[in-house]
């Protein structure tokens, strides 16, 4: 706890006393500028919307709509006969009807380009409820991901113990399995709850030929007409998200060979045992055991290369001759690395498109030498990036590395945690949260001499984002009153910064305000942006704890390209990404 120097009686009296939110000085000045004799009428409000809030075409009807929304709040004394008073103006600014992203925009990107022209909200090991070694496999995290707008679901499919059915589980671990059919049915039911745009199911296939045929029957019977089948062996170009609305797409490649029983026994032994409440406590020992036996695994597994892309070479005709034709026909997006090394994997074929998967380490190594080739590849083809295999705790990596090189499917452990996942949430708040975000043109077009975008280049500043952090409120209502400090109000500070290309990355911090549930910082920060199209605004609040790690007080991440200028109420979220009921910041955004 931060402070324990006050007497108990005095501190408890201070702790439970909460002053009402009061408009900061700048807001009072703004009200005085756009009011007359303490009253902000319709025309005053219309001019404020146009000149400060960036709503250049604001009408009297728009201003009236703001006032109508305030009337429904049933606050007393926020109106005079002819308009808003200061309290009413402040209530509008900090209210839910004034968010930093425009909810009325909805899906507004061009959705008629090929799939390869979009960043796509992508999950990794979508069936896991927790860590990568011992957590349960379930359809519950799949449903959760779909309801949040995730458009790519990954399923690892293995034979069950009797080899007559198909389980979904994380191979070579103690994760308990779930039936494939249960996952497929849940995908069908929830696929289009959050978005009408297509869902891609990537399969990591470890099946025998007879079970591949069984999977083909399951998929066909479950999805029926929802299933997209191109009717040809290879696509010359990917169709558009618009043309694939409410369709399900299968992406995989046949395995090189069936992985025999010794790899399945470990998983099946876990499936036979009852749920053990002490299993999570034993996770540490399992990790230790797993690490101790890493030498028994292939080097590919160490690098996370158990992905479906690392089976048979896609161009080897012998590999597909025994694959059931009904299974092969399901594969609308073909995956595989092909023969040769990285340069061959990244070869652009003018007559066909495909998907390539790389682990995060493979991508990091590749961009040193082949960065430009990756961007050329992703102009037509799909690139999926996935977490390295030793992320046992379901943590994630920096998604910007993939995005700035055009990677469409930056796959994340959605059940994970941390700042990387917050960036993922932020990116896909864009375009109405539909799960598809149009890539900027510079990632899709080559220059006159064939040159492509270089994220490490020394680029000029395109625009500067000026951010004013006025104040925050809501912690008193959303947190227990002793959550931050036992004997006094919290000591909050805010962190504001940019995630993007290397030259744009920065993080800044306000001063710490002691003993205040409603901190008013009133500080201004400027962020020169070289590539604003890929920039995300990071916002965090923490409570200064002198005796240990600072307490978390909320976060959000916003796509810079969609931030509304003006004074906005910014809702904050928990570490898991859930929106708080009351916690928000009052901020101003300007592009200068």
Catalytic residues: 124, 170
CB-based contact 494:472 (threshold 8 Å) = yes
Q: Distance between CA atoms of 21 and 75, rounded to whole angstroms?
A: 14
CB-based contact 330:219 (threshold 8 Å) = yes
* Residue found under tokens 């040193």: 368
Q: Distance between CA atoms of 382 and 359, rounded to whole angstroms?
A: 14
Please list the residues that pair with 39 across neighbouring strands. Answer: 36
The angle that helices 25-33 and 86-93 make with each other, rounded to 10 degrees, is 110
Q: How far is CA 31 from the centre of its chain?
A: 37
Most distant pair of Cα atoms in the chain: their distance: 85
Distances (CA, A) of 457 to 7, 386, 530, 531, 578: 58, 26, 10, 11, 36
Structure tokens at 243: 């043309």
Q: What share of the chain is helix, strand, coil (3-state, %, to 5)?
A: 30, 25, 45
Q: Distance between CA atoms of 36 and 70, rounded to whole angstroms?
A: 20
Residue-wise DSSP of 75-127 = -TTSEETTEE-HHHHHHHHTSTTS-SB-TTT-S-S---S-GGGEEE-EESSTT
For residue 260, the tally of other CB atoms under 10 A from its CB is 10
Q: How far is CA 186 from the centre of its chain?
A: 21
Looking at the chain, the number of H-run helices and the number of E-run strands are 18, 22
Q: Distance between CA atoms of 56 and 543, rounded to whole angstroms?
A: 38
Q: Distance between CA atoms of 113 and 485, rounded to whole angstroms?
A: 53
Please list the residues that pair with 322 across neighbouring strands. Answer: none
Query: For strand 122-123 and strand 79-80, is the pairing parallel, antiparallel, or unpaired?
Result: unpaired
Structure tokens at 92: 């509008």
Query: For strand 409-412 and strand 382-386, is the pairing parallel, antiparallel, or unpaired?
Result: parallel
Q: Distance between CA atoms of 137 and 150, rounded to whole angstroms?
A: 18
Distances (CA, A) of 487 to 1, 11, 245, 518: 9, 5, 55, 17
């Amino acid at each position: 706890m931060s402070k324990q120097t006050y007497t108990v009686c005095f501190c408890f009296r201070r702790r439970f006393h909460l002053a009402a939110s009061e408009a900061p000085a700048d807001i009072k000045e703004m009200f005085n500028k756009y009011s007359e004799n303490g009253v902000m009428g319709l025309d005053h409000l219309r001019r404020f919307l146009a000149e400060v809030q960036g709503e250049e075409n604001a009408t009297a009807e728009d201003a009236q709509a703001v006032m109508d929304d305030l009337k429904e709040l049933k606050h007393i004394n926020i109106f005079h006969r002819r308009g808003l008073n200061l309290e009413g103006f402040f209530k509008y600014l900090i209210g839910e009807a004034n968010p930093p992203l425009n909810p009325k925009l909805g899906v507004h990107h061009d959705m008629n380009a090929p799939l390869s022209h979009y960043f796509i909200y992508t999950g990794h090991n979508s069936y896991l409820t927790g860590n990568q070694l011992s957590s349960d496999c379930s359809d519950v995290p799949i449903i959760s991901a779909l309801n949040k707008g995730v458009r790519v679901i990954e399923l690892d499919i293995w034979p069950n113990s009797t080899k007559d059915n198909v389980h979904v589980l994380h191979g070579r671990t103690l994760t308990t399995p779930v039936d494939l059919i249960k996952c497929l049915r849940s995908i069908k039911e929830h696929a289009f709850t959050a978005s009408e745009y297509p869902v891609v199911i990537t399969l990591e296939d470890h099946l025998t030929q007879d079970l591949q045929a069984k999977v083909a029957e399951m998929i066909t019977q479950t999805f029926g007409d929802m299933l997209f089948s191109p009717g040809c062996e290879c696509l010359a170009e990917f169709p558009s998200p618009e043309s694939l609305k409410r369709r399900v797409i299968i992406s995989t490649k046949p395995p090189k060979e069936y992985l025999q029983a010794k790899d399945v026994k470990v998983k099946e032994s876990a499936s036979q045992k009852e749920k053990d409440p002490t299993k999570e406590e034993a996770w540490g020992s399992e990790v230790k055991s797993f690490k101790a036996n890493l030498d028994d695994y292939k080097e590919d597994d160490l690098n996370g290369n158990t992905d479906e892309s690392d089976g048979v070479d896609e161009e080897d005709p012998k590999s597909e001759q025994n694959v059931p034709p009904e299974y092969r026909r399901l594969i609308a997006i073909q995956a595989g690395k092909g023969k040769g090394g990285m340069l061959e994997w990244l070869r652009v074929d003018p007559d066909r498109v495909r998907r390539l998967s790389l682990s995060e380490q493979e991508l990091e190594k590749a961009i040193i030498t082949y960065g430009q080739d990756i961007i050329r590849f992703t102009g037509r083809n799909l690139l999926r990036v996935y977490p390295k295999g030793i992320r046992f705790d379901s943590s994630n990596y920096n998604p910007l590395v993939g995005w700035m090189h055009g990677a469409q499917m930056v796959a994340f452990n959605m059940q994970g945690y941390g700042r990387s996942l917050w960036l993922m949430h932020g990116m896909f708040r864009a375009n109405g949260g539909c799960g598809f975000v149009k890539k900027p043109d510079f990632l899709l077009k080559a220059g006159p001499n064939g040159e492509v975008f270089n994220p490490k280049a020394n680029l000029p500043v395109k625009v500067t984002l000026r951010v004013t952090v006025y104040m925050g409120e809501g912690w008193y209502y959303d947190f227990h009153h002793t959550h931050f400090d036992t004997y006094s109000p919290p000591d909050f500070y805010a962190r504001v910064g940019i995630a993007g290309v290397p030259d744009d990355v920065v993080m800044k911090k306000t001063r710490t305000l002691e003993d205040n549930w409603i901190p008013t910082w009133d500080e201004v920060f400027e962020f020169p942006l070289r590539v604003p199209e890929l920039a995300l605004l990071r916002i965090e609040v923490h409570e200064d704890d002198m005796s240990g790690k600072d307490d978390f007080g909320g976060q959000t991440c916003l796509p810079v390209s969609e931030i509304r200028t003006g004074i906005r109420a910014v809702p904050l979220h928990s570490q898991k990404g859930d929106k708080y009921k009351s916690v928000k910041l009052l901020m101003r955004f300007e592009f200068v």
